[in-house]
Amino acid sequence: MAQAAATDTNALIDSVLADHVINSEETFEWVTASPREVASLYFYQQLDELIELARAISFDFFARPHLYDALEDSDVVPRLAALHARYRCDEKFLSREQRQKIYEGIFTAGENQFTAGRDALLHAAAKFSERVYDTGEDMPRAAVRDAGKTFRAYLTALPGASLSWSRREILPELIDMTAYRILRDGGIRAVFSQSKPVARGWPYHVAGKSDGLVEKASKYLNEPTDGLSRDRVNAIPAPGASWRRGHRHRHRLQRSARSSAAVTTPKGRKR
């Protein structure tokens, strides 16, 4: 019975949302392509602390130059310099406050319609997956479909010139090409006693102990006065940490959380 219910749940979720799996920068680019740019901004917002971590490292790069003598990627040096000098003063190196203005316009506009729609869909999917008997399943099944349809309609109305500009022109320069690149560099990680190489797809795909840099770096950084605080760094959960709070809860989220990136894809569309 339990296995059949799980199979039925997956089939229902698949009929409502396309199953887009992100495990590399390339798949991230594909999954968040138009008309799904909002998914990338949601991802950026959730990991926004990593930008401040990279910025703090850019200060440390000049404060302790003798430690940064073996960077793997030669392009990381100008990236560190640019992040150090242009932060808040360049339209492609936005400050935390400036980035939050972009996110607020997408995720809190319209009386928190994004949060309400997301939570309604996840709640409906969880209720359907947790049912004990197949009898009376029509109502929870319909609830998933209705919530997915409503949320998709809202997200479909979001794309526009502002969202596309933020996704394609502004945020990738600071985040993908600068902050994430800095944090992946083996020479940078070695400064903070992180000898294990990080996956090329990090942080789009997290495996093993690739997030140890966050904890280690916070102990040594010469931080800018208005930048990263140690308490804030230590408060960052490892991506996926909430999925390890129990076998049942983890699988429920795995089935239902597909909406964050794929809800705007029409039924039946395949990669």
Is 194 domain-assigned?
yes
Sign of CA dihedral 239, 241, 247, 253: negative
Cβ atoms of 204 and 23 within 8 Å: the answer is yes
Q: Lowest-confidence range among 110-119, 157-166, 184-193, 216-225? A: 216-225
In sequence order, the 6+-apart residues with CB closer than 8 A to the CB of 164 are 34, 37
Instruction: Check residue 247 and give its pLDDT.
Output: 34
* pLDDT value at 97 more than 70: yes
Is 271 domain-assigned?
no
Cα separation of 59 and 226, whole Å?
Answer: 12
* pLDDT value at 101 more than 70: yes
Is 7 domain-assigned?
yes
Across 198-214, average pLDDT? 71
Cα separation of 43 and 40, whole Å?
Answer: 5
* pLDDT value at 84 more than 90: yes
Highest mean pLDDT (candidates 44-53, 73-82, 235-244, 252-261):
73-82
Across 204-213, average pLDDT? 65
Is 51 domain-assigned?
yes
Global confidence as pTM: 0.72
The percentage of residues in the chain with a pLDDT greater than 90, rounded to a whole number, is 29
Cα separation of 214 and 199, whole Å?
Answer: 15
Confidence band of 151 (pLDDT split at 50, 70, 90): confident
Instruction: Check residue 133 and give its pLDDT.
Output: 67
Instruction: Check residue 128 and give its pLDDT.
Output: 86
Mean pLDDT of the chain: 76
**Nearest one of 94, 93, 61, 96 to 76, comparing CA atoms:** 61
Is 206 domain-assigned?
yes
Confidence band of 35 (pLDDT split at 50, 70, 90): confident
- Per the structure, the complete domain to which residue 219 belongs is given by 2-262
Confidence band of 224 (pLDDT split at 50, 70, 90): low
Is 41 domain-assigned?
yes
Q: Lowest-confidence range among 146-160, 184-198, 247-261? A: 247-261
In sequence order, the 6+-apart residues with CB closer than 8 A to the CB of 83 are 54, 55, 58, 93, 174, 178, 179, 182
Q: What is the CA radius of gyration of the chain?
A: 20
* pLDDT value at 244 more than 90: no
* pLDDT value at 210 more than 50: no
Across 199-206, average pLDDT? 80
Instruction: Check residue 137 and give its pLDDT.
Output: 78
User: 141: number of CA atoms within 13 Å, CB side?
Assistant: 14
* Residues 120-133: tens digit of each pLDDT: 988 988 888 877 66
Domain count, the chain: 1
Instruction: Check residue 250 and give its pLDDT.
Output: 35
Is 161 domain-assigned?
yes
Angle of CA points 52, 225, 84, to nearest 5° = 50
Is 155 domain-assigned?
yes
Higher-pLDDT residue of 116 and 268 is 116
